[in-house]
Amino acid sequence: MNSLPCNIEDYRVITAPETAYYISDFISEAEEKAILSSIYAAPKPKWTQLSNRRLQNWGGIPHTNGMIAETIPPWLDKYLDKIHKLDVMDGKRPNHVLVNEYLPGQGIMPHVDGSLFYPTITTISAGSHIVLNFLEPTEDNTINTSPLFSFLLEPRSLLILQDKLYTHYLHCIEELKEDLLDGSIVNINMCSDKYVRHATVTRDTRVSLTIRHVPKTSSFKIHLGNRR
Ligand SMILES: O=C(O)CCC(=O)C(=O)O
Ligand SMILES: [Fe+2]
């Protein structure tokens, strides 16, 4: 999909609850390589190490009091532009990127993305596929582990989630080294022929760019009180 503009409705996942769009080849192999080399060129303190993955924040750190906006470098901002052109955030320009790195066997616990963001998640995948699972929330906050449905996210793909897929269902990535592409995957017919139903595919290191819009931002100002 390197020839923009496109009609996003052509990419709607009609086999999932509302609303998901999936673009298999959103970025080229050269762009994928460039993203990975820029991410790995970042200085070590740019990484935040969690118990089961590492992450980088670009654009600022989202916070309930607002985000102090930081300039996003051009190598990354070009993808915010490309997503902005799809017009999936009610005219708002994305201004934040969360980079997650998952080694084979790593994942992310069930969660919803919450109220710090405009309720559209856009995710570019690089380096490896992964399976993103969706769960029904439980009344008592116990974790319901059997996925209702899943998306296969190929390297170089873009996934867009909105509506009930943002607000209602929990999403997670299981801590696996390989994925069985079973009947729970709702977008397999939108993926390349490499991924066939019932195949088992081995994970490699995956880097995802979760690109969102943080509505509450301010630019940094130091208030030194009343200096006359
Ligand atoms: O890596 C992904 O695709 C999911 C990341 C995610 O759910 C998040 O950062 O909130
Ligand atoms: Fe998330």
User: What pLDDT digit, counting tens, does each position of 134-176 carry?
Assistant: 999 987 766 667 899 999 999 999 999 999 999 999 999 999 9
Tell whether ligand 1 has an atom less than 6 A from the beta carbon of residue 106: no
The bound ligand whose nearest atom lies closest to the alpha carbon of 206 is 1
pLDDT digits (tens, 9 = 90+) for 177-205: 999 999 999 999 999 999 999 999 999 99
Taking the CA of residue 208 as reference, the ligand 1 atom at the shortest distance is 1
Alpha-carbon distances, residue 91 vs 84, 98, 111, 118, 138 (angstroms)? 8, 21, 26, 11, 34
Q: Which stretch of DSSP H or E encloses residue 38?
A: helix 29-41
Regarding the beta carbon of 208 and ligand 1, being less than 6 Å apart is answered: yes
Q: Beta-carbon neighbour count of residue 196 at 10 Å?
A: 11
In the chain, % helix, strand, coil (3-state, to 5) comes to 15, 30, 55
**Burial (Cβ within 10 Å: 0-12, 13-18, ≥19) of residue 103:** middle
Site to probe by mutation for ligand 1, drawn from 123, 133, 134, 203 as the one with most ligand atoms within 8 Å of Cβ, is: 123
Instruction: Establish whether residue 56 lines the binding site of ligand 1, counting it when its CB lies within 6 angstroms of any ligand atom.
Output: no
Q: What is the pTM assigned to this prediction?
A: 0.93
